[in-house]
Structure 1
């Protein structure tokens, strides 16, 4: 995940520009976040300037918030990630809603792969049904977790009381906890009925009644209602969640039919009356017996498979659960879990399936070790691994293992190994649904959490070993910078005396050499001018730092000092160099040339390349820049002025490439 400080800056910017909904598009250049604003009156410019980390604000055809190199790309990425779009893509009109949801989204890479995968899935009736099921139960997951934990605590205390470790004075506390837990599970049918009605576009209150009548309220022995198939008395709760889902789905069609055919004048009276009458009879005498048989058969079958299959059944379930997730098939398991909890007091299926995520954790650790030269990949793993351990597997799946291919398969093998251990031990169940990974430990029923931990460790180890030896693609081990730029791994591209120059992260973090002097040379041939005379307020007011500008008469752009190239913008209009003396120097080719998408520029070097002053770095097509109506002034700026004790002066004059312009002295 992206560092919190960048997210904080992005959130503050959103707050002072009227929120994401007031932004039409967002891009960034080497130093600035550039936003196309829908309503300028909502922008608080002075508030933007007060945000910690903001160096200044410029108002031109776009609103430009100056953050400086190295920070701007991370803040801009955090901002578009929160909204759910890419850099330069239009912000949706509902951006405010996307913004809130985006805070919980996985990092951009995971979201991109996940979205691409979903787009490739065909829209089928059963996939639509699974999406409905998911939408019905997701709002209830926090309730499941909370009630499940309370149930677990009540169970532990009850066992301790039975064993004599707690006195009778604990009875009230234990009973209270059980009442709180029952507030969910005793009336779960009603909550599901309400959510199902919302999802199927029916009246929520009617859906809640259908869910409640499955409990047969008002039927007090010796009075009974008959099961029309077996002629035995109906049992309250028969059909359970599966019955509620089906009945409310049918109800939605009945209600819409009645709305269409009953006159508006009496609609409010007869539609709810007839809907409840028809659906009540249908649910009690047809849905409850049929869905009850289906529910009992499913629960019985799964228990039989786990009991007979043992380790083998656990391996198969753990192995194939992640492919089920990718196909969306896992959503059908939610009502099955709940039926098992209702009938058995726990779901033995969930701990086994949770092993799939644990296999991802083991695979990620193996990739971290084998691919340590790939800073982009290891950075993603570092961000996704903690939440993966806690049971949130999407960042690891869609951001790491699935894009690489083989690690996804070996991670599934790890999940199978963990599932085999759980299946072999047997009797391990969860009192609620929602969490997995380490977060599921408190929900393990009957004190069998240690067996679940053994399964987790086995899945970690299985995913690690399978991935370490068989699942690491060669290209994943290629040396890359944090931004994905390929890094040279041989001394052919780096001076022999400085092989560490390929480690961009170390170079970027290196402290300036105290008292050192850095001579800066002209990166292009042309006319030297004071930076205060540049036709751009951000540079002219030295918001980014001090330096000089040149109106170029040649297309070759060279390094202004001895040092290492630490970054090149995606649009190739600027690069940053870390001088050997520790100063950070930015060369910006043209004004507003970020809008040209990199077409006028080409580079001869990449991040990690050590260069000497006057060495060619890039080419800029002056004719293309002029044709686009852009200023081609090349600006050289020392961006870390806090480390500068002073700069020498220069006079405006023609210069040749490589001519000394000024000297910068460090503190």
Structure 2
């Protein structure tokens, strides 16, 4: 019966929009089927609104048919299944009546598709674009780094035992097999990076892999080398390293795209790859390798010099400043640096030092746990985040505990600096591969120096603990009646005191604000469906630029939008709450949204569940207003708290009583 209802709604929507032939593309968000319509004159708006199961219709950049959460994904899938495409794919030109479209109508259909695609593109600064590209190139390789690195570490330990005579020579073949596996990753890393770089920059992946392989100079004998055109010295295999490969493949992508434009289609498959490989191959070997070789060698040498000369001081500065770098996204540039150091020296001394930043967070969290033991909300959050923090996953502690409180984040960074000083002072401590941090990094520490790394971890734990225990605990956090302290200063909270309603101890029948910001009347929301509260009783908040996203209830996450712009919860009291972040932000396809929860997760009211770059969302042209909607509000008597202006994550915005 349920499937019949879905099929009926899908069929009736098509009937009232002029059929599949009048749809260029179809996607959905958490509540709406969104269609790019070719000819709006063929759409029967009243017919759409009168469909049993349709809650409302919005005519905007796309035609949006509201069918509600839980139903929308089924209806949208049924609609694209009828056409034979996937969600978001262009509808075929010969579907239904499209085979009879005139040239003008075909152009208009294509224009509508392009317009929708362009609107979804985000605006980025060049620096952010570069850092994002670097991240996209290396993230898929991290499991390989970890696996091959650990295997190589075990092989090194067994090799030492073999040389010392502690194990028999029968282990030799097994050790060789492990080294072959390790070398399968690191010896041909340039090829993998070339392929991933091509995928990122829009070049043919196979061509990118060949350019990466060219830097390894296959087939060149030491007795007959190629020479550096700048100094006459022999080129070395791998010279220029990963940095050179990324740059060369980027240039390859530019040339290949131009060649596709210039070369006739009939010979494009033959001519374009041949010319592209020949030109970029020569360019890479004779220009990129010598120049990038100097850059990478200088970079590695400079870092080694800083660590050798600066010692403990350099370690302190790097350990203390790493988390602020993470917050600004600058840490992504370190990945190719780590890899270059591993390629040239067999290890990266930077990673163990930077890992101390997370250890400082662990020490700070333990101090907060002890000092704020009466604040059950805070201690519950710490208990949930601490185990993974010890293993090197620091985001829950950073964004859920120390950063919202302010001072503990600073004292935790000091703890990270202390651990970094120990690592830098001891020296010669490095990681043979990149990937984890915290305790999980111990197996990847270069042979014989893992104990020094453990000393660094302990120093960071103790440093973060002491600095936080004595100097980093806000008074508000100690008070068991207060929620986790906001990042606002005392003066800001005092100015807002009159406008913020009672900060009460939460019960299961209350909904709190999903973001910090300014409450606004729901009927002033730019989206007419949301303004009319069609999907349920709602509260709207214009978020502050630095506001995280908070869970409005204690309960479970029921769903998370594929594009991360909406989260659905069910509270312990049975309220079904949809948090919708921004208007039409589904078009951003997840850009600027970074959520840390998934369906099935248990959350606590006020817990940070993600972050959004509200500034970039606004720059992209989208309204950032965030709504908390009780989608089953017909089951409750809902009392909205009146006269809200400035709201915090602990501010109660709605109370519910089960309907009789």
Equivalent runs, 1:201-216 vs 2, <5 Å:
201-216=202-217
The residue aligned with 2:322 is 321
> For 2:657 and 2:347, how far apart are their aligned partners in 1?
70
Q: Establish whether residue 598 from structure 1 lines up as the match of residue 640 from structure 2.
A: yes
Q: Establish whether residue 479 from structure 1 lines up as the match of residue 486 from structure 2.
A: no
Q: Establish whether residue 138 from structure 1 lines up as the match of residue 180 from structure 2.
A: no
> For 2:458 and 2:52, how far apart are their aligned partners in 1?
54
Matched-pair contact (CA < 8 Å) for 2:636–2:658: no
Q: Establish whether residue 470 from structure 1 lines up as the match of residue 477 from structure 2.
A: no
TM-score (norm 2): 0.58
The residue aligned with 2:130 is 129
| 1:352-387 deviation digits (Å, cap 9, x = unpaired) | 010001001111111111222222222211111111
Query: CA distance change for structure 1 residues 251 and 568 in 2, over 3 Å: closer, same or farther?
Result: closer
User: SS state of the match for residue 428, structure 1?
Assistant: coil
Alpha-carbon offset, residue 124 of structure 1: 2.6
Alpha-carbon offset, residue 241 of structure 1: 0.4
Matched-pair contact (CA < 8 Å) for 2:481–2:505: no
Query: CA distance change for structure 1 residues 634 and 439 in 2, over 3 Å: closer, same or farther?
Result: closer
The residue aligned with 2:31 is 24
Q: Which runs of 5+ in 1 are unaligned?
A: 1-19, 26-37, 42-60, 66-92, 95-120, 486-501, 506-565, 572-587, 603-618, 621-631, 637-667
User: SS state of the match for residue 447, structure 1?
Assistant: coil
Matched-pair contact (CA < 8 Å) for 1:481–1:504: no
Q: Establish whether residue 155 from structure 1 lines up as the match of residue 156 from structure 2.
A: yes
Matched-pair contact (CA < 8 Å) for 2:419–2:457: yes
Alpha-carbon offset, residue 178 of structure 1: 0.3
Query: CA distance change for structure 1 residues 277 and 351 in 2, over 3 Å: closer, same or farther?
Result: same
Matched-pair contact (CA < 8 Å) for 2:252–2:276: yes
Alpha-carbon offset, residue 415 of structure 1: 0.4
Matched-pair contact (CA < 8 Å) for 2:431–2:445: yes
| 1:422-461 deviation digits (Å, cap 9, x = unpaired) | 1111111111001000000000112211110000000011
Deviation larger for 260-269 or 237-246: 260-269
Query: CA distance change for structure 1 residues 63 and 357 in 2, over 3 Å: closer, same or farther?
Result: closer
User: SS state of the match for residue 31, structure 2?
Assistant: strand
| 1:35-61 deviation digits (Å, cap 9, x = unpaired) | xxx9989xxxxxxxxxxxxxxxxxxx9
The residue aligned with 1:249 is 250
Equivalent runs, 1:39-118 vs 2, <5 Å:
none
Alpha-carbon offset, residue 127 of structure 1: 2.2
Query: CA distance change for structure 1 residues 383 and 373 in 2, over 3 Å: closer, same or farther?
Result: same
> For 2:164 and 2:478, how far apart are their aligned partners in 1?
56
User: SS state of the match for residue 193, structure 2?
Assistant: helix
The residue aligned with 1:626 is none
Q: Establish whether residue 440 from structure 1 lines up as the match of residue 447 from structure 2.
A: no
The residue aligned with 1:333 is 334
Query: CA distance change for structure 1 residues 265 and 600 in 2, over 3 Å: closer, same or farther?
Result: same
Alpha-carbon offset, residue 128 of structure 1: 1.4
Matched-pair contact (CA < 8 Å) for 1:591–1:633: no
The residue aligned with 2:189 is 188
Equivalent runs, 1:531-610 vs 2, <5 Å:
592=634, 598=640
Matched-pair contact (CA < 8 Å) for 2:637–2:659: no
User: SS state of the match for residue 346, structure 1?
Assistant: coil
Alpha-carbon offset, residue 333 of structure 1: 0.9
Matched-pair contact (CA < 8 Å) for 2:30–2:68: no
| 1:11-65 deviation digits (Å, cap 9, x = unpaired) | xxxxxxxxx978528xxxxxxxxxxxx9989xxxxxxxxxxxxxxxxxxx96899
The residue aligned with 1:376 is 377
Alpha-carbon offset, residue 250 of structure 1: 1.0
Number of aligned residue pairs: give it.
Answer: 423
Query: CA distance change for structure 1 residues 261 and 239 in 2, over 3 Å: closer, same or farther?
Result: same
Matched-pair contact (CA < 8 Å) for 2:356–2:417: yes
The residue aligned with 2:454 is 453
Alpha-carbon offset, residue 634 of structure 1: 7.0
Query: CA distance change for structure 1 residues 163 and 63 in 2, over 3 Å: closer, same or farther?
Result: closer
| 1:453-506 deviation digits (Å, cap 9, x = unpaired) | 000000011111111111111222222489999xxxxxxxxxxxxxxxx9999x
Matched-pair contact (CA < 8 Å) for 1:359–1:413: yes
| 1:528-549 deviation digits (Å, cap 9, x = unpaired) | xxxxxxxxxxxxxxxxxxxxxx
User: SS state of the match for residue 592, structure 1?
Assistant: helix
Query: CA distance change for structure 1 residues 464 and 217 in 2, over 3 Å: closer, same or farther?
Result: same
Query: CA distance change for structure 1 residues 591 and 263 in 2, over 3 Å: closer, same or farther?
Result: closer
Query: CA distance change for structure 1 residues 64 and 233 in 2, over 3 Å: closer, same or farther?
Result: closer
Query: CA distance change for structure 1 residues 64 and 326 in 2, over 3 Å: closer, same or farther?
Result: closer
> For 1:193 and 1:633, how far apart are their aligned partners in 2?
60
TM-score (norm 1): 0.58
Matched-pair contact (CA < 8 Å) for 1:379–1:482: no
Matched-pair contact (CA < 8 Å) for 1:362–1:460: yes
Query: CA distance change for structure 1 residues 63 and 424 in 2, over 3 Å: closer, same or farther?
Result: closer
> For 2:366 and 2:248, how far apart are their aligned partners in 1?
46
Matched-pair contact (CA < 8 Å) for 2:378–2:484: no
Equivalent runs, 1:392-407 vs 2, <5 Å:
392-407=393-408
Alpha-carbon offset, residue 260 of structure 1: 1.4
